[in-house]
Amino acid sequence: MTPAPNGNQSLDPVSAAQQTGPRTMSDNPEFIEKLRQGDPDAVDQMVKAELPRIYNLCLRLSRNPTDADDLSQETFVHAVRALANFKGDSLVSTWLYRIAVNVWKNRVRYESRRLKSRHVSLSQARSLEPDSEPLDIPGADRPPEEWAALSDDHRLLLEAMDELDQDDRAVLTLRDIEDRPYDEIARILSMNLGTLKSRISRAREKLRGIFRRRGGRAS
């Protein structure tokens, strides 16, 4: 995880053990070809290996377990339909992350149109350039008993996250909560590295501004 301003790691409820687990043979041409052909065993292996990560990403973006279930299932439906077009020029996990982010963004746009008078709960995130200080954003997928122990600043920070637009929440979730490398995020979002770093920096500044306006104490 990205270090917090006080030197501690971000309060993220998904342990390293939970985030590792079996991986698909993403760099194996034979496995990729089986996926493209829709081989049931290869598809099953992909889903079993990647579903926990995709669910966690969707939960961190939506902050709603029901939405996360729906979004992760929709991600794999889209992925299976698009397997024949997967060229294998990126890791399977990177490809699935790209689909998941797009599925979430489409859901946010749909909900925004349907509920124009409300700010929907399906948008959030956080991130930064290498030399700037990240805010310590707690993950959404935390046990109920841990929520009671959150500090006022963490609660304010989550509220501030809800005010960010979907693009800012996406880059910040991928970088500061998911701790994804810059080059992988650039591939996920189909963005060049320089543009990505600038967007992350601006998104983090927006988050700090909202956080301070709400009375939070950011270093």
- 28 in any annotated domain: yes
Ramachandran assignment for 88, one of left (phi > 0), alpha (psi -120 to 50 degrees), beta (any other): left
Count how many domains the chain has.
2
Residue 21: its pLDDT value, please? 41
Structure confidence at residue 195 (pLDDT):
96
Are both 109 and 37 inside the same structural domain?
yes
Q: What angle do CA 82, 88, 91 make, to 5 degrees?
A: 100
The 3-class SS string of 16-39 reads: HHHHCCCCCCCCCHHHHHHHHCCC
pLDDT for position 16: 34
- For the record, the structure tokens of 124 come out as 């959030």
Closest by CA to 89, choosing from 26, 43, 22, is 26
Residue type, 112: S
pLDDT tens-digit series, residues 81-107: 999 999 888 899 999 999 999 999 999
- Examine the pLDDT at 184 and tell me if it is beyond 90: yes
Percentage of residues in the chain with pLDDT exceeding 90? 48
26 lies in the same domain as 99: yes
Specify the higher pLDDT residue, 152 or 189. 189
At 101, which CATH number? Answer: 1.10.1740.10
What domain range includes position 154? Answer: 144-213
Q: Token pair 């709960």 is at which residue?
A: 121
The model's pLDDT over 122-172, given as tens digits with 9 standing for 90+, comes to 444 443 344 444 445 545 445 544 544 456 777 777 788 888 999 999 999
Mean pLDDT to the nearest integer, 24-42: 83
75 and 30 in a common domain: yes
